[in-house]
Structure 1
Amino acid sequence: MSQRTWNNPLRDERDKRLPRIAGPCGLVIFGVTGDLSRKKLMPAIYDLANRGLLPPGFSLVGFARRDWADQDFGQVVYEAVKKHARTPFREAVWDRLAEGFRFVQGSFDDDAAFDKLAATVKELDELRGTSGNHAFYLSIPPGAFPVVTKQLARSGLAKANNPEEWRRVVIEKPFGHDLASAHQLNKVVNAVFPEESVFRIDHYLGKETVQNLLALRFANQLFEPIWNANYVDHVQITMAEDIGLGGRAGYYDGIGAARDVIQNHLLQLLALTAMEEPVSFRPGALRTEKIKVLEATKPVGPFGDTTARGQYAGGWQGGQKVPGLLQEEGFSKDSTTETYAAITLEVNTRRWAGVPFYLRTGKRLGRRVTEIAVVFKRAPHLPFDATATEELGQNALVVRVQPDEGMTLRFGSKVPGNSMEVRDVSMDFSYGHAFTEASPEAYERLILDVLLGEPSLFPVNKEVELSWEILEPVLKHWKSAGKPDSYPAGTWGPDSADKMLARDGRHWRRP
């Protein structure tokens, strides 16, 4: 099956600044009634159309059990776009986009529904000029992947009719719940779609700041010479949320923070932080370097000292009293699901030997923030009086992924006055202030990349399975370690998380 992307005749390849525009194509969304579809996917599709990055004949097909006609589906998309789209609403753009909306009613095991879907796709090829190019977005639970992929194969939807056409599948996390299930899931999907046609969505990789990490490292001479164990003391990668889990028990209970966030988002951020310079930014070269890092990454033990897990209790957040996890609807009073997870990793390469990587994530923490903090070693000698530097910490470069996208560099500077007193100051770069154009949402970038056949930002089988290999020893330890520690909502996690760094003479950053 050919994976060639469409050559846009309007783009002069000599000018790389021109936008990438998708060629003739359509998108089918399974799970179209879910929150992800309404809050992220539908608005992203409209925003892409509004920016002129979708072809005039682009088509969107929804598949669900609802008894909807095409116009009912169109109204759902309309409401989602009006509420969640990033760009201004324009009637002309909407009218053109809505002409390509279709809806197919059915369940995943309904042969007749998939036959109708195949007929609908064929009709769109003829009426809308989608040219046989279609992506299938599985915004559904992983347990439904086998039946849907088999139906796509049975109905002929998974197979292009000629080498000029393409068919692709998009998969949302979680990619399994352990190594064995991830391996089986990959096997099921690859039985229908070859690996180059599989796009596993990790929406963090679509964020501008994450991609800018590569520019920071490899477009500048300033940081790369000190991006190693000779100068770096440790690295902290944090994803903190201030929300709880009300209404999400069906998804989250039994999954936990480590499986939900560390296995995918945070390990991908680690790989991009620690990887060597790729020979190019072609997908294969980038993946090669990420895989090298993941192969060299191991959890540090003993896990009773080097990891922490917690479960939020009731407390105060944002001036409001909030319940603990065990009081949330749908959670058992005996639930051992962690809402906070922190682990210590080592990357056994010449560049990073001896540098601990601390990864943490949690719900109901002090504030919502995702960041990568590279903390440097202290200067080997300070020619100042002890009192002149008592407030001086360690230099740090902090990459803020969300919500305030940008970077902060912390260093020591003299305090104005007659005496020599040195104190920490920060130099700050913010996307909102430095650039006039707004950053696109992650799903805009990722959906466009799927339609273009650009796989750089999508993890492959090997990356997924290596990530599970890294995390599984910790999960096995926690399974036999009893209940998670408790921490009050609105704080920064359990005491055990502070102790895991304090044993090495370090402490967590307070974003």
Structure 2
Amino acid sequence: MKKTKNQMLVIFGASGDLTARKLIPALYNLYKGQHLPEKFVVLGTSRSFMTDAEFREKVVSESDFLKSKLDKEDKDFIQQFTNQLFYQDLGDNYTDSYANLAKRIKELNEEHGTEENYIFYLSTPPSLYESIAKNLCDQELTKEDTGWKRIIVEKPFGYDLASAKELNDGLHHYFEEKQVYRIDHYLGKETVQNLLVTRFSNSIFEPLWNRNYIHHVEITNAETVGVEKRGGYYDKSGALRDMFQSHLLQIISLLVMEPPINSSAEEIRDEKVKALKSLRVMKDEKDILENTLRGQYVASQINGEKVKGYREEEGVDPDSTTETYAAVKFFVDNWRWKGVPFYVRTAKRMPTKVTEAVIHFKTPHHQVFPSQDTYRQDNKLIIRIQPDEGILIKFGVKVPGLGFHVEQANMDFYYSDLDSAQVMDAYERLLLDAMQGDSTLYARADEVEAAWNFVDPILKCWKESDAVTTFGYAAGTWGPKNSDELIAEKFGWRNPGDLLTDESGFCILS
């Protein structure tokens, strides 16, 4: 375990939802697990006026997100954690001088011995990133003459390739790339990280991880909820920007990448960038129309309850064509994956909440024991990222009795079986990594731009082409029926259930 140096975490936008909902609970769990350094301070700042005591009440003692945990804890223990939290009013806006903030940081540093090691967490809109970085630089808070300085920024990192480059350039004016940590909470999940271990530490998988043995790869990300109160934001974003460009392309890069030289952050990130750059970019309208599909959920009934269609949601344009379902078929142009199709879909208002990757292996070239349903009897490696996290292998076995009838059997592993293992929440893991200077699970500038480079032509075509259709699908179903036509040889999508081994194939629409 790396030693975590004494430091201060400065949270911009600390009066917002993310601080109380994710950041403070993650820090509390790190404190309880004794992962925080001996001398550690959190300084929240935003345009809202609060005293230290009011901030502590908001994010700890009166927080709904910590209530169940605090009820079981000793009051002195809670107080010791709370005493590490402070607040500084930033003033009317984020662009004014940070002189008062810098003064408070200096005072807390001297009082608590944080050794001028600072992390600046920007829980703010991306439009403020450069202004905040500039003001920090003006107060000489980015210099690493004494102590290190790091900056964490949240997604969405850009709206397209041009805006992502602009954000990168803006940050690079004031911070070096090694100081910048672009957070994607999906990479903090143990099961996402386990993709690397599954691949590179098992000789039963790595020799088969190529075009000679793999028929195709599919990834499903499904959510049961609609856009809820995010209609205004989502209508300008859509599923392709919201999930595919960031979370799912990160998973794809881990599946596609070549073995790194070692497990260091830069070696792993180098290979992820190479993987993203090897994705075949679809530039022709014909290719995009044939290999992508977008859909939008319409009103229906689920368990006897009426559910709104997307266009009826608050903040959504009544004539919106924004996708809540996006499916993409693509290829990877390198030796390992040449000719292997990848299928990725992400959607809202589906029958179950699930994220998983499925590796479909080729059937033996000579079928000694042919199955009546061969295309559904292929060997599969299923990596479940959420929920019911684990790994499932599907392989053929003989059905007891006369003859040689083949049926699929399951061999599975569940993270929940590891009773002794303490699985960190995504934000816990990512915050601790940033505190220790480990950038493995954070996206690099060229990585973000490579992802946008692949997605940009699809977004442009979907926006500008009259030939692009948005297909409706009833809320609570597995998306537009014609999405199965995207997958070659009539395989169709695997429609997973809540449980890793459950492959229901039906939905809960009533």
Verify same fold: TM over 0.5: yes
Is 1:322 equivalent to 2:322 in the alignment? no
The counterpart of 2:24, out of the listed 20, 42, 47, is 42
Equivalence for 2:361: 376
Q: Is the 8 A contact 2:299 2:306 kept in 1?
A: yes
The Cα shift of 1:305 comes to 1.8
The Cα shift of 1:277 comes to 0.8
Distance 1:213 1:110, change over 3 A: closer
Distance in 2, Cα, partners of 1:275 & 1:421: 38
The Cα shift of 1:392 comes to 5.2
The counterpart of 1:254, out of the listed 231, 236, 245, is 236
Equivalence for 1:488: 474
The Cα shift of 1:221 comes to 0.8
Identical positions, percent: 42
The RMSD of aligned alpha carbons is 2.0
SS at match of 2:331: strand
SS at match of 1:297: coil
1:268-287 pair list within 5 angstroms:
268-287=250-269
Distance 1:208 1:76, change over 3 A: same
Distance in 2, Cα, partners of 1:199 & 1:87: 34
Distance in 2, Cα, partners of 1:473 & 1:233: 26
Equivalence for 1:348: 333
Q: Is the 8 A contact 1:63 1:104 kept in 2?
A: yes
Distance 1:249 1:317, change over 3 A: same
1:435-446 pair list within 5 angstroms:
435-446=419-430
1:158-202, Cα deviation, whole Å (9 max, x unpaired): 223x24x01111011111011110000000011111100000001
Distance in 2, Cα, partners of 1:391 & 1:423: 12
1:166-185 pair list within 5 angstroms:
166-185=148-167
Distance 1:295 1:88, change over 3 A: farther
Distance in 2, Cα, partners of 1:295 & 1:457: 18
1:390-409 pair list within 5 angstroms:
393-409=377-393
Equivalence for 1:428: 412
1:219-368 pair list within 5 angstroms:
219-299=201-281, 302-317=287-302, 320-368=305-353
The Cα shift of 1:307 comes to 0.5
Distance in 1, Cα, partners of 2:314 & 2:197: 44
Q: State the AA in 1 paired with 2:438.
A: E
Q: Is the 8 A contact 1:182 1:464 kept in 2?
A: yes
SS at match of 2:259: coil
Q: Is the 8 A contact 1:64 1:107 kept in 2?
A: no
Q: Is the 8 A contact 1:50 1:87 kept in 2?
A: no
Equivalence for 1:209: 191
Q: Is the 8 A contact 1:308 1:343 kept in 2?
A: yes
The Cα shift of 1:504 comes to 4.3
| Structure 2: runs of 5 or more not aligned | 497-510
Distance in 2, Cα, partners of 1:452 & 1:214: 21
Is 1:147 equivalent to 2:131 in the alignment? yes
Distance in 2, Cα, partners of 1:297 & 1:227: 17
SS at match of 2:236: coil
Distance in 1, Cα, partners of 2:36 & 2:295: 44
Distance 1:398 1:323, change over 3 A: same
Q: Is the 8 A contact 1:392 1:412 kept in 2?
A: no
Equivalence for 2:504: none
Distance in 2, Cα, partners of 1:477 & 1:379: 39
Is 1:459 equivalent to 2:443 in the alignment? yes
Equivalence for 1:6: none
The Cα shift of 1:294 comes to 1.0
The Cα shift of 1:264 comes to 1.0
Distance 1:88 1:48, change over 3 A: farther
Q: Count residues with an aligned counterpart.
A: 488
Distance 1:394 1:90, change over 3 A: farther
| Structure 1: runs of 5 or more not aligned | 1-18
Distance in 2, Cα, partners of 1:87 & 1:398: 39
Equivalence for 1:134: 118
Equivalence for 2:401: 417
1:405-437, Cα deviation, whole Å (9 max, x unpaired): 111101111122333221112111100013422
1:184-233, Cα deviation, whole Å (9 max, x unpaired): 00000111111000000011111111111111111111111111000101
SS at match of 2:383: strand
- 458-467 or 146-155, which moves further after superposition? 146-155
Distance 1:63 1:28, change over 3 A: same
The Cα shift of 1:483 comes to 5.5
Distance 1:449 1:135, change over 3 A: same
SS at match of 1:347: coil
SS at match of 2:343: strand
Q: Is the 8 A contact 1:366 1:492 kept in 2?
A: yes
TM-score of the pair, normalised by structure 2: 0.91
